[in-house]
Amino acid sequence: MLIDAPLATPAARATRARLLDLARRRAADTMFLDELSRELRHLVPFTASFWAASDPLTTLAVSPARVENLGRQCARWWEREFLVQDFNLFRDLAQAKQPAASLVRATGGQPGRSARYRELRSELGYGDELRGVFRCGTTVWGLVSLWRTAEEPPFTAGEEKLLAELSTPIAEAFRRATLLHTSHGDGATEAPGLLVFDDHLRLESFNSQAEAWLNELTPTVLCDGDALDAAIPTAIRPVVARAHAVAAGIEEESGCVRVRTRSGRWVVVHGFPLRGVAPGSGRTAVVIEPAKASDIAPLLVAAYGLGPREQQITQMIARGLNTSRIADQLCLSPHTVRDYVKLILDKVGVRSRGELVAHLFAEHYWEPLRDGITRAPHGPA
């Protein structure tokens, strides 16, 4: 009889405490994912895994990312994510009441209903899959998939619940990584890089600028002899697959992600379907280019959880306006402005207006927030 109690022992509870401490004290990077995977395995045993940060605006995977025991499945895996209607897609989990679900449970005990399950069982001998999204509120900051072999028991309801309970604490670590010091300029290139993939999602050609950008992007960490082409970072795979789905008429909008390079600068990765002259000769183009301020502003706003009015007041504080002048310009009472200021300070994690300005704007966030800020309406909030 399978006992569904992943926290039944003192050792298991100590492991959970270590996971929560890890999420509180660290920002997500490749070492964080390594430790996270190692610790979680003690509570929720698994054979293979995929971990990645995600762009909170598109829920597409970006770096840091970690792959274990998946061989060359990643490219096709992302294609299935957008081209095949299946169970527990990440975009569905992002909206679900519980942010984690096992494939066996989602299919009512009939995982063979899932195309993803059938292929992975046939090619790798895997059985149940436990997926989760790491989210704060409704914003997704990271993704995970865990697999067991077909000979191992499926994931239990208790293990599913445990992963769901860890969703927000781990999301905070991914969110925190977004707010690290940002670098602007001084990179290997400023010109856009272009990569072209064939209709099987294989890299066909690229320009020299793309090669320079690829060298700047953080590579996917591969474990236990995985043979995935490490030259194609995780941030590119889902963008290519999403564009392929647009060409097939399944998706309406091509994919786009914002990702930080090794030097700390932000770039944008766009995917576009290309039309071929001959039937069936379509290709997918991927463009990598420096991020504009307007590209990064929504991401920073999501990271701090600042609403339109809070953004506007933050900008006014940076310009040196006091409470009375802010109240006059926005047609608010001074008391309401002070309430907003307190909320802003709490969200950013500082104690004074001076610390707020230094933290946001001295660390290179002024330009994105100034140029890409959401314009709040005038008048009472």
Q: Is the N-terminal amide bond of 377 cis, ω within 30° of 0?
A: no
Burial 149-174, CB ≥16 within 10 A → b, else e: eeeeebbbebbbebbbebbbbbbbbb
Predicted confidence at residue 231, as pLDDT, reads 67
Give the separation between CA 233 and CA 65, rounded to whole angstroms: 9
**pLDDT digits over 223-242, tens only?**
754 444 556 888 999 999 99
Burial degree of 297 (CB within 10 A; 0-12, 13-18, 19+) = buried
CB 337 within 8 A of CB 327: yes
Nearest residue to 219 via CA among 345, 366, 67: 67
Q: Which fold has domain 193-293?
A: Beta-Lactamase (3.30.450)
The predicted structure's pLDDT at residue 265: 86
Angle (CA) 106 23 102, round 5°: 10
Kindly tell me if the per-residue pLDDT of 8 is higher than 70.
yes
Please tell me the distance from the alpha carbon of residue 129 to that of residue 113, in angstroms, as a whole number. Answer: 13
pLDDT digits (tens, 9 = 90+) for 114-130: 999 999 999 999 999 99
- According to the CATH classification, is domain 295-372 in 3.10.180.10? no
pLDDT for 60: 95
| 133-147, 194-208, 305-319 — most confident range | 133-147
Query: What is the predicted pLDDT for the residue at 373?
Result: 47
Asked if the domains at 193-293 and 295-372 fall in one CATH topology, the answer is no
Confidence of residue 312 (pLDDT cuts 50, 70, 90): confident
Residue 179 — pLDDT band, cuts 50, 70, 90?
confident
Mean pLDDT over each residue of the chain, to the nearest integer: 86
Contact in structure between 173 and 28 (CB atoms under 8 Å): yes
What is the pLDDT, as a whole number, of residue 336? 95
- Out of 3.40.190.10, 3.50.50.60, 3.30.450.40, 3.20.20.70, select the CATH number for domain 10-178: 3.30.450.40
Q: What pLDDT is attached to residue 380?
A: 40
**pLDDT of amino acid 361:** 59
What pLDDT does 20 receive?
A: 96
Question: One-letter amino acid identity for 347?
Answer: K
Asked whether residue 377 carries a pLDDT value surpassing 60, the answer given is no
User: Which tens digits make up the pLDDT trace of 39-73?
Assistant: 999 999 999 999 999 999 999 999 999 999 987 66
- What's the whole-number mean pLDDT along residues 128-156? 96
State how far the alpha carbon of 338 is from the alpha carbons of 59, 73, 318, in Å: 34, 53, 15
**What pLDDT is recorded for position 56?**
93
Could you tell me the CA-to-CA distances from 264 to 1, 90, 186, 235, 352 in Å, in that order?
50, 27, 11, 15, 27
Question: What proportion of the chain, given as a percentage, has pLDDT over 90?
Answer: 58
Domain coordinates in residue numbering, the chain = 10-178, 193-293, 295-372
Q: What is the pTM of this model?
A: 0.84
Residue-wise pLDDT for 186-227, tens only, equals 555 689 999 999 888 889 999 999 999 999 998 888 775 444
Strands 256-260 and 100-102 turn out to be unpaired
